[in-house]
């Protein structure tokens, strides 16, 4: 893999982390931490385990759809094509698409990841596909996509992958705003393949974010451990409990960490001492669930048209191929 780094907003990612932690924990009302910080080396490894858990049906549904329909999906996309994947993680499921493309042409695959370890896993996972060359971008989604688009060769189409229902981590209407920003980077005729979890009965949705082994709880609590490691914080992890809630109004699962008692936490590198009331929570992630009409509306609002949609019967999940208008 060739590894590219886009110009970071500041030269010091720890300083950015400190600023975001300070802002999120000083917020009046609900304390929050951005979900992107869940993915350091430990977090990315834990996410891989979550993907293998029986409760986390999303990954298997996404994988089934890609396995069963890769040839058809790839047939809808014009050649030559460069593939960019937003938040690839280990890229395991992407193999089906790349192998289908591999039979057709030499292709560049560009995973875009903030997690260095996820990018390394991805290169290891997909590095053996003969006609696929990997150019990884260690960056935020849009910075990486801009680089890929700027470096496209004449006549090349872009196929952007956004799998695993990661779009659900944006608040509504931040999801539309994000898709519009993606669309502005693309040219008419480029493609976006969007994997999204669909609304289903509450118990399986909740279990997916609160498994009986406690892996998702560890994934969530690792964010406090990361603050301790990187910013010198003194969070007592045993004094916070993972909590998954379904919010029917926004149709989203929210992950929180609940303080078990009144406590003060000091985070020297963020210049912060923060007080938690007993029962107060830090909100770390939302995972919105979509309906099929809502997805079509979302696509249209961002100037995409739906080419085709595939839905898994076992675990309601949609793979939607969109074309930029
Ligand atoms: C929910 S995981 C999905 C991984 C993989 N696409 C899948 O379907 O299994 C989200 C991935 O996006 C990455 N990520 C999160 N926020 C990001 C950001 N702002 N820019 C780039 N990558 C990001 C994380 O490191 C993580 O690997």
For position 7, what pLDDT does the model report? 56
Residue 101: predicted pLDDT = 93
Kindly list the distances between the CA atom of residue 25 and the CA atoms of 14, 45, 124, 171, 267, in Å, as whole numbers in the listed order. 16, 26, 37, 19, 11
Angle at 267 between CA 37 and CA 27, to 5 degrees: 65
pLDDT surpasses 60 at 25:
yes
Atom of ligand 1 nearest to the CA of 169: 1
227-259 per-residue burial string, b: 16 or more CB within 10 A, e: under 16: beebbebebeeebbebbbebeeeebbbbbbbeb
Q: What is the DSSP letter of 26?
A: S
Which residue's alpha carbon is nearest to atom 12 within ligand 1?
87
Q: Rounded CA gap, 316 and 61, in Å?
A: 8
Confidence of residue 244 (pLDDT cuts 50, 70, 90): very high
Angle at 39 between CA 136 and CA 227, to 5 degrees: 135
Average pLDDT over residues 261-275: 98
Strands 281-288 and 272-276: unpaired
Is the beta carbon of 90 within 6 A of some atom in ligand 1? no
Average pLDDT over residues 306-311: 98
Q: Is 287 close to ligand 1, i.e. is its CB under 6 Å away?
A: no
Higher pLDDT, 208 or 9: 208
- Closest ligand 1 atom to Cα of 87: 12
Average pLDDT, the chain: 96
> Ligand 1 within 6 A of 36 CB?
yes
The SS3 call for residue 128 is: coil
What is the mean predicted confidence (pLDDT) over 92-103? Answer: 95
Task: Over range 68-86, report the average pLDDT.
Answer: 96
Residue 11 has pLDDT above 80, yes or no: no
Asked whether the predicted pLDDT for residue 153 surpasses 60, the reply is: yes
Residue 196 phi/psi, 5° resolution?
Answer: -135, 140
Question: Is the link from the previous residue into 289 a cis peptide, with omega within 30 of 0?
Answer: no
Q: Quick one: which H or E segment has residue 277?
A: none
List, in order, residues 6 or more apart from 128 with CB less than 8 Å away: none
| DSSP conformation class of 89 | T
What is the per-residue pLDDT across 172-219, written as a single tens digit (0 to 9) for each?
A: 899 999 999 999 999 999 999 999 999 999 999 999 999 999 999 999
What is the reported pLDDT for 105? 86
pLDDT at 317: 98
Alpha-carbon distance of 107 to 135, in angstroms, equals 11
Does residue 316's CB lie within 6 angstroms of at least one atom of ligand 1? no
Q: Is the pLDDT of residue 104 over 90?
A: no
Burial class of residue 91, CB neighbours in 10 A (0-12, 13-18, 19+): buried
Cβ–ligand 1 distance for 107 under 6 Å, the answer no
pLDDT for the residue 8: 56
Instruction: Express as a percent the part of the chain with pLDDT over 70.
Output: 98
Q: Within a 10 A sphere around the Cβ of 189, how many other Cβ atoms?
A: 12
SS3 94: helix
Q: Is the CB of 164 under 6 A from ligand 1?
A: yes
Q: How confident is the model at residue 10 (pLDDT cuts 50, 70, 90)?
A: low
Examine the pLDDT at 4 and tell me if it is beyond 80.
Answer: no
**What pLDDT digit, counting tens, does each position of 216-239 carry?**
999 999 999 999 999 999 999 999
- Supply the pLDDT for residue 77: 96
**Cβ–ligand 1 contact at 166 (below 6 Å):** yes
Helices (H), ranges, the chain: 13-25, 41-52, 57-75, 95-102, 116-126, 141-150, 174-185, 202-207, 215-231, 292-301
């Amino acid at each position: 893999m060739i590894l590219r780094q886009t110009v970071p907003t500041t030269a010091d990612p720890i300083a950015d982390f400190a600023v975001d932690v300070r802002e999120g924990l000083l917020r009046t009302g609900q304390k929050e931490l951005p979900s992107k910080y869940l993915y350091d080396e430990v977090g990315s490894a834990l996410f891989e385990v979550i993907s293998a858990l029986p409760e986390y049906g999303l990954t298997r549904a996404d994988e089934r759809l890609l396995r069963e329909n890769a040839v058809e999906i790839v047939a809808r996309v014009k050649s030559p094509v460069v593939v960019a994947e937003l938040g690839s993680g280990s890229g395991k499921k992407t193999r089906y698409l790349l192998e289908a493309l591999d039979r057709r042409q030499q292709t560049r695959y560009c995973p875009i990841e903030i997690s260095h370890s996820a990018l390394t896993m991805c290169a290891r996972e997909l590095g053996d596909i003969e006609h696929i060359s990997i150019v990884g971008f260690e960056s935020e989604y849009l910075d990486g996509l801009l680089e890929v688009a700027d470096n496209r060769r004449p006549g090349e189409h872009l196929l952007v992958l956004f799998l695993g229902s990661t779009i659900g981590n944006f608040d509504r209407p931040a999801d539309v705003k994000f898709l519009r920003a993606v669309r502005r980077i693309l040219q008419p005729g480029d493609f976006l393949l969007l994997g999204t979890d669909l609304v289903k009965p509450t118990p399986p949705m909740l279990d997916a974010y609160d498994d009986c082994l406690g892996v998702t709880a560890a994934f969530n609590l690792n964010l406090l451990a990361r603050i301790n490691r990187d910013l010198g914080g003194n969070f007592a992890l045993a004094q916070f409990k993972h909590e998954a809630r379904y919010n029917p109004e926004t149709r989203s699962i929210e992950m929180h960490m609940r303080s078990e008692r009144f406590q003060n936490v000091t985070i020297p590198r963020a210049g912060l001492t923060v007080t938690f009331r007993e029962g107060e929570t830090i909100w770390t992630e939302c995972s919105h669930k979509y309906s099929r009409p809502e997805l079509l509306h979302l696509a249209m609002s961002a100037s995409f048209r739906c080419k085709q949609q595939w839905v898994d019967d076992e675990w309601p999940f949609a793979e939607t191929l969109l074309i930029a208008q």
